[in-house]
Each structure stands twice: as C-alpha cells, then as structure tokens.
Amino acid sequence: MATDFLVHEKIWFDKFRYDDAERRFYEQMNGPVAGASCQENGASVILRDIARARENIQKSLAGSSGPGASSGPGGDHSELLARIASLEVENQSLKGVVRDLQQAVSKLEARLSVLEKSVPAHRATAPQTQHVSPMRQVEPPPRGKAAPAAEDDEDDDIDLFGSDEEEDKEAMRLREERLRQYAEKKAKKPALVAKSSILLDVKPWDDETDMAQLEACVRSVQLDGLTWGGSKLVPVGYGIRKLQIQCVVEDDKVGTDLLEEEITKFEEHVQSVDIAAFNKI
C-alpha cells in the first residue's frame, strides 16, 4: 500500500527552478543582496538535493512496480519461508539423531558398569590351583628279603665331593702340559729378521777421482748383517760422476749412521755419502 501511494503521489520536483527564476527576477529589479543571496543559494542547493533524492526514489518505486515486480519482495519472502521450513525439518532430524546417540551411549555406560562389577566377583570366586609335583613311588622290597646292612654302610662311606677335586687337578695338569708344548714349539720356530734395502749415493771429490778404486773401497766395508748389491755410475755434471750402490742390512745389526761412518773413512776418494732410497723388506 505504501509503495502504491508513493508511486501515485504528485511532487513538485522542479520547484527549485522556479525559485531560481524568481530570485533572478527580484535581483534584476532591486539589486543583489549579499547575506540573503548566500542563504537562498544554500537553501536552493538543499532543495535541489532533496528534489533529486525524491526523483530517484520515485524512479526506483516505479521500476519495482513494473512487470518484474512480482519477483521482488513477495518472491523473496516466499523463498525465505521455504528455506526456514527446510531448516526446521533438518533441525528436527538432527535432534532425533542426537537423541539416538545419547541413548546408545547411556546403554554402553550401563553395560560397562555391569561388567566392571562382575569381574572382581569372578576373580574372588575363582579357586586357586596349586601345582603339586608328582611323587616318585618307591617299590617296597619283596617279602622275606631284608636289605643287607653292609650296603647301607658302603653308601655312607661314599665321598660325593672328592671326584671334583680330582677332576680339577687333572685339568690343571693338562693345561700345564699344553702350555709347555706350545712354548717348546715357539722356541724352535726361527724368529723373523727385520731387513732394509738402502740405495746409497757416494760422491767423489772431482772428475779425476778413480771411480773403480772408490767402489772397491766402498765394497771393502764388511759388517755382520750387511750385503752389497749392484752398482752404477750416474753423471752429476762437469764430467763428475757419482757411485750409486745398493745394499741390504739387518736392522738390529747395521744402522745407516754406522754405514755412512765406515764409508767416509776413505777421505782420499769419498767426499760425501747420501741415502737415496730406504725401504723395509
């Protein structure tokens, strides 16, 4: 009813135009008035805004009352009622489900309480079984035959712990015998001799040194555990050559310091001795 009333209501939307025309007419006749004109301009602006707002309201109401007005507020209201009805039905069904769940939980709690009460009673009434080991039956001696007393005396004289001592002594004797045999076998086995292979560089004084005589002097060094090997002459420079000689020594008997000391004793031919290579064998 309110919408129909607003649609058919007649409003003077163009009143501000007439007010402006009337103001301009009086200004031309009497001259402009500063304070009044400002107030009238403000009032005219407010009236213009109000008129525009009314015009917009009227247009919107006219559009809603057109051909598509049937799908407006009435249609929304019916759709809202349908949704409310469906929600009420769904709420009722959910309430029923919750009620069934509560009943099931209460039944389970009651059953659990009954079981908890029955278990201790069953434990209390259960009989305690005792495991009894079977006894060996001893056959009685035949009638008319008595056990001789001599056999009882012999059983009393048996030493139950003497056999253990004898076995311990025998085990100790066997252990000592095996240790002695192992020591003898180890003593007969030859001990390994640690040896080293040494390559020596023997340098002469100059190019006039007799290298054959120098090598003879080096090989003349004879020590226990020293064995000389091959040799060769290696050029150094400016016509000078050095003697490179191989030897094998036993580490416990011959050391490198002793070997160098013995070779450098030939001062007429040997200037210095260097170890070019040293390898364990």
CATH of the domain at 232: 3.30.70.60
Would you say 43 and 90 are in contact if contact means Cβ atoms under 8 Å apart? Answer: no
- CA–CA separation, 172 vs 12, rounded Å? 139
pLDDT of residue 106: 92
pLDDT of residue 68: 47
User: Does the residue 129 lie in any domain?
Assistant: no
- CA–CA separation, 264 vs 202, rounded Å? 9
pLDDT of residue 8: 58
Q: Which long-range contacts (CB under 8 A, 24 or more apart) does 229-237 make?
A: 234/201, 236/203
For 2, 89, 224, 233, 236, the CA distances from 266, given in Å and listed in that order, are: 143, 126, 20, 18, 20
User: Does the residue 270 lie in any domain?
Assistant: yes
User: Does the residue 139 lie in any domain?
Assistant: no
pLDDT of residue 132: 47
CA angle 203, 209, 211 (to 5 degrees): 70
User: Does the residue 255 lie in any domain?
Assistant: yes
Prediction pTM value: 0.35
pLDDT of residue 105: 93
pLDDT over 90, % of the chain: 28
pLDDT of residue 221: 92
- CA–CA separation, 197 vs 247, rounded Å? 6
Which residue ranges in the chain fall short of pLDDT 70?
Answer: 1-13, 31-43, 63-76, 120-164, 190-191
Would you say 160 and 240 are in contact if contact means Cβ atoms under 8 Å apart? Answer: no
User: Does the residue 244 lie in any domain?
Assistant: yes
CA angle 254, 241, 257 (to 5 degrees): 20
User: Is residue 73 helix, strand or coil?
Assistant: helix
- CA–CA separation, 81 vs 63, rounded Å? 25
Work out how many domains the chain is built from and give that number: 1
User: Does the residue 230 lie in any domain?
Assistant: yes
Task: Encode pLDDT of 255-270 as tens digits.
Answer: 889 999 999 999 998 9
Q: Which of 16, 79, 71, 3 is nearest to 43 (CA)?
A: 16
What are residue 231's DSSP bridge partners?
A: 245
Q: Which long-range contacts (CB under 8 A, 24 or more apart) does 241-244 make?
A: 241/204, 241/207, 241/211, 242/201, 242/202, 242/203, 242/204, 243/201, 243/202, 243/203, 243/204, 243/211, 243/214, 243/215, 243/218, 244/199, 244/200, 244/201, 244/202, 244/276
User: Does the residue 187 lie in any domain?
Assistant: no
pLDDT of residue 55: 80
User: Is residue 256 helix, strand or coil?
Assistant: helix
User: Does the residue 249 lie in any domain?
Assistant: yes
Q: Residues with Cβ < 8 Å from 238, sequence gap 6 or more? A: 207
Amino acid at position 82, single letter: A
The domain of 206 spans 202-280
Would you say 247 and 206 are in contact if contact means Cβ atoms under 8 Å apart? Answer: no
